[in-house]
Chains A and B, each alone.
Chain A
Amino acid sequence: MKFYRSHILIGIDDASLAAGVKEIEALLRNELQKNNLSDEINILETGTLGHFGTGVSMLVYPEQVTYVNLKKEDIFEIVEEHFLKGRPLQRLILDRSLTQNYDFNYKRRIVLSNSGVIDPENIDEYLGAGGYEAWEKALTTMKPNELVDEVKASGLKGRGGAGFPAGLKWSFTAPIVADQKYVVVNADEGEPGTFKDRLIMEGDPHKLLEGVMLCAYAIGASKAYIYIRGEYKLCIHRLEIAIAAAREYGILGNNIFGSGFDLDIFIKVGAGAYVCGEETALIESMEGNRGTPRSKPPFPGVAGAWQKPTVVNNVETLANIPAIIKNGAKWFAAHGVDGSTGTKVYTIMGDVNLPGLCEVDMGTSLRTIIQQYAGGMIEGRTFKAALVGGAAGVFLNDTLLDVHMDYNSLREYAAVLGSGAILVMSDTVDMVDMLWSVLRFFRHESCGKCNPCSKGTALLFKLIDGIRKGKGKDSDLEQLIKVSNGMQKTSFCALGQSPCMPIASAINNFRQDFLTRINVK
């Protein structure tokens, strides 16, 4: 292997592509070549570098300097100053006042351990980082039921939103005898404010594939599908490359590692419907139908895709599996807290300095996440609220900043971890407007299958729209809560059952905002 004195990591994601990263990278390569530096300095394309709103960014090792908001004309200066003369260009370095406390938390990362570090389009880099060791270990030394037991013992819960124990889900399907079983990856990320799965797939697609493989072996599935939303073009591209490479290396295919186990993975592209995140709706969509949820039981674990036993897992859930199998359940459970083991990937946005993502132990407080991993509040603004868990989440106020973010602690406050989206709002934001936006979303995304949801989401929006336009009555608040509670009890799937959470929390925690709107005539 060649030795380089310096490595430049360029973050490639939707945001940097939009900012023209490809042109800038080409120019950089060209400039390095011109200065005879190509043999000394290595350029690697990697996933996101972890913070957004900073255009094209690159991280230079060994100095660990992050350049942000790069323009083409900056490249000449960087090559001259930094790579020829060895003086990092202060002007373009990410503002230290924001990053001195910024913590990538690499030591504790599980899911994102390679993201922003390796080239996601090169399988050798994943192998070099210890990739596919768990897969080899499982196939050559473990029985399928041992995998299920290990995942059960780890305490891993589904990361898609519902938090159902992953090992338990597998254990329903594993013992069923069937001519065909399936693993389906739910990559139809649509919860507003959630983009963790996109970043996992963009930054480390092989980790997801390895998780899929381990799940398939554990439950005895020979086919797996990744159902991914159509807008995630870069994810689709990188997964296609990764699957092709895995096939070429014999990591996928027939009689893998001489074990007699066969597996192949396919990508299915969605067409834009929030409800398809519900697992039975997702399966309907995969089969070429309208994505409306099915009646349960039977659960997908018994009769899922094409009526065959199917395990549907979220991207982040599966991306945790390789580390669990490789290092053991005990190692995994040493992350996080009782009842919520492991780490959680959060996406943080809104009125914070460094919107982006972080992966931290379960149980980390909201305050720490905002301060340490999102650069704190935008200057001059104070914290008012956070919508945690996406549209189907809960509005928390400042008295809950120190609540530990884990399943049990949040439940005490009738809150949920959900998908891990954290939308931070400052004192200038009116909760009537925010709830209006949330309820508009539900009205649009209701699939129309059941009456409580299709009629209910329309009624909820009408009520909040009236309040927002200054035509509200005091009784509208009770009506919002009453209707959404009714929907929670009677709706067919989680979509119609969810609006009660943002509604109750917004009204209970920020009642004054609503009363002010209602009483201004």
Chain B
Amino acid sequence: MYEEIFEKYTPEKENLIYILHEIQDAHPQHYISEEAVAKVAEYLRIGLSHIYGVLTFYTMFSTKPRGKNIIRLCESPPCFLKGSENILRQLRDLLQVKTGETTADGIFTLELCACLGVCGNAPVMMINEDVYGDLTEEKVENIINSYKGGEK
């Protein structure tokens, strides 16, 4: 897997973030393992510490295994105003997890994030690459069920 990704990029530091994005997307548990960091360090000829520094700086990267689907609920002021706290409470209840945790069956990880730029439809969450807006408790339940049923 690593070789295929590396082939697309010249071994320059400026490509680090791209390579990390691709490795994380390709991993079924959406994270960057120690093994991956070592491979990237070798390919780009940069220190492990630099890569960990970058990895832990950006919120889109994870160094811990995550679920099949990653839920990112926006907690910024516009969504907060439109009731994102209620949606968060509901998601925690539905999934039986705390923020940052993965469900026992490994299907979901619940995360919070900053503004996604879809504030006209607040409150908003992203599941993987898809945006869901104008969330209500009813809507959230349907969305979660559609992923549970394996439709997505």
Contacts and interface: CB of A to CB of B under 8 A. Distances in A.
Given A15-B133, A190-B114, A194-B115, A437 B58 contact: no
A224 B92 CA distance: 44
Nearest to B129: A233
Given A285-B17, A288-B15, A190 B60 contact: no
Nearest to B50: A289
A190 to B, nearest CB: 6
A434 B57 contact: no
A230 to B, nearest CB: 6
A10 interface: no
Contacts of B120: 15, 51-53, 195, 347, 349, 355-357
B56 to A, nearest CB: 9
Nearest to A19: B133
B106 to A, nearest CB: 23
B13 interface: yes
A289 to B, nearest CB: 7
B69 to A, nearest CB: 15
Contacts of B122: 349, 355
A296 B81 CA distance: 37
Interface string A167-191: 0000000000000000000000111
A290 interface: yes
A194 B117 contact: yes
B60 A271 contact: yes
A265 to B, nearest CB: 16
Contact of B115 (A17, A53, A190, A434): A190
A441 B117 contact: no
Contacts of A339: none
Contacts of A193: 76-78, 115, 119
A371 B15 CA distance: 47
Contact of B77 (A274, A286, A288, A434): A434
Contacts of A18: 121, 130-133
Interface residues of A, number: 56
A52 B115 contact: no
B13 A387 contact: no
Nearest to A13: B118
B113 to A, nearest CB: 7
Given A53-B120, A290-B54, A14 B17 contact: no
A193 to B, nearest CB: 5
A189 B117 contact: yes
B80 interface: yes
Nearest to A393: B77
B101 interface: no
B15 A444 contact: no
A160 interface: no
Given A425-B81, A441-B76, A230 B15 contact: no
Contacts of B116: 231
Given A195-B119, A195-B120, A349-B119, A230 B21 contact: yes
Contact of B60 (A51, A272, A286, A349): A272
B126 A231 contact: yes
A116 to B, nearest CB: 14
A305 B14 CA distance: 11
A445 B57 CA distance: 10
Q: Contact size class for B?
A: 35 or more
Contacts of B81: 350-351, 423, 425, 429, 434, 437
Contacts of B80: 433-434, 437
A271 B129 CA distance: 14
A190 B119 CA distance: 11
A441 B54 contact: no
B76 A271 contact: no
B13 A271 contact: no
A213 interface: no
Interface string B37-59: 00000000000001001100111
A447 B57 contact: yes
B58 to A, nearest CB: 4
Interface in B111-152: 113-122, 126, 129-134
Interface in A409-446: 421, 423, 425, 429, 433-434, 437-438, 440-441, 444-445
B58 A287 contact: no
Nearest to A15: B121
Interface string B62-96: 00000000000001111011100000000000000
B37 to A, nearest CB: 14
A198 B118 CA distance: 9
Contacts of A14: 117-118, 131, 133
Nearest to A354: B120
B152 to A, nearest CB: 13
Contact of A287 (B13, B53, B115, B118): B13
Contact of A441 (B114, B119, B133): B114
A472 interface: no
Contact of B117 (A231, A291, A423, A438): A231
A349 B132 CA distance: 17
A402 to B, nearest CB: 23
A324 interface: no
Interface in A181-237: 189-195, 198, 229-233
24 contacts: A17-B131, A51-B120, A52-B121, A190-B117, A192-B76, A194-B117, A230-B21, A231-B126, A271-B20, A271-B60, A272-B114, A273-B58, A287-B13, A287-B14, A288-B14, A288-B16, A289-B13, A347-B119, A349-B122, A355-B119, A391-B77, A437-B75, A441-B114, A445-B114
Given A53-B121, A231-B117, A291-B57, 6 more contacts: A14-B131, A15-B133, A18-B132, A289-B13, A355-B122, A437-B76
Interface of B: 12-18, 20-21, 50, 53-54, 57-61, 75-78, 80-82, 113-122, 126, 129-134
Closest 6 CB pairs of A and B: A52-B120, A271-B58, A192-B76, A288-B16, A288-B13, A195-B117
